[in-house]
Amino acid sequence: MADDTQGAAAPQPGTAPSMNLVGQYIRDLSFENPGAPGTLLGGGANPAFNVSISVGVKKQSDEIYAIELTLNAKANREETVLFNVELVYGGIFRIKNVPENQLSPLLMIECPRLIFPFARQVLASVTQQGGFPPLMMEPVDFSAIYRQNLAKLAQQQGGAQAADAAAETPKPN
């Protein structure tokens, strides 16, 4: 039988990279149904939905990180707000021996990917309990969100550097 790690040093048991989901929580949950019961009785055109998602990371200790998804969903029918829901759903992760250059993608892509289905279920349940069909969010490409945030950060830093260079440029008399 061939050895798959031939020529490569096997990681020591205490130094292998690891990621564990320690716990999950709801930090904030708000559901507004301002037109009830009228909005539940009337038919009409299909509602328009606006859904947004953001990811936040808070380092708790050397190995512990809290990853929070903020989900906002709003449904309108013409000018009438049917519902507005905000959910901040978090996961606590223990991360050990992950190289620094791999930590950011792990925290901003893989950790949110693991807790998203649970946040999605809370959102669906809350909208259903509010009298509406369950809101089932499409799967989210956290890798694309991460790349967009990196590009936005690079653009902001590039703009700040250009402004600093312009401020440092001597003006002719």
Instruction: Dump pLDDT digits (tens) for 14-25.
Output: 688 899 999 999
Look up the pTM and report it.
0.78
- Structural domains in the chain? 16-134 (3.10.420.10)
Q: Can you give the chain as a three-state secondary structure string?
A: CCCCCCCCCCCCCCCCCEEEEEEEEEEEEEEECCCCCHHHHCCCCCCEEEEEEEEEEEECCCCEEEEEEEEEEEEEECCEEEEEEEEEEEEEEEEECCCHHHHHHHHHHHHHHHHHHHHHHHHHHHHHHCCCCCCCCCCCCHHHHHHHHHHHHHHHHHHHHHHHHHHHCCCCC
What's the confidence (pLDDT) of residue 167?
Answer: 46
